[in-house]
Amino acid sequence: MTQQQLLEALARSESFSRDFALRNALIANPKTILHQTFPSLALGENVRAHLHEDTAQEMHIIMVAGEDLVFSDALETAVEQVLDKAVGEPDLRKRLMADPKGTLATLLPDFYVPEDFRIYFHENSTEEIHLLLPPLAQAEDELSEAELDAVAGGSRGRGPHIGRKRGGKAPHCRSQKFRR
């Protein structure tokens, strides 16, 4: 199983979204649970596994070295173009990892990110693998905390204004995918 296949499988996995015991076990002991869940996964003993979760205040973007791909829940088209460029330019990739908001602000002056919102770039390697936990499943008739905040007019997290100035064009929505 390649890193790309693992990232895709974990993102699609309903068991980690719905089964809190399994999700907590994955957080506590990632390599053991990953091997149990994905038997074809071959992670060496020296490989460190790091789990990340997108929240209303932070977003994680995973770059897979050697496979020329980037993985995240949803990205603006302009950010995707920067990431496509970063795949082939190691200096840009290093700048993005060191100072994501500053680098994006320099390259995309109209890209708006609220002060309290954090963006993290992680790069997978042969020694370290970063994984994005799928979002927790909500009961179908239940709103998340972020949705409740947005409805109440107090949205401070990721919402329609991440990536654009207020009053700008509508956000670009897309499903989870990989970019090559």
Place of tokens 């993985």: 71
The DSSP code sequence of 126-162 is SSEEEEEPPPPPPPTT---HHHHHHHHT---SSSTTT
CA distance 159 to 153: 11
**Percentage of the chain modeled with pLDDT above 90:** 7
pTM > 0.75: yes or no: no
The pLDDT tens digits for 40-53 are 888 888 989 999 98
Residue 74 has pLDDT above 60, yes or no: no
Q: Where are the domains of the chain?
A: 44-166
If you average pLDDT over residues 87-92, what whole number do you get?
Answer: 85
Q: In this structure, are residues 86 and 92 in contact, taking their beta carbons and an 8 Å threshold?
A: yes
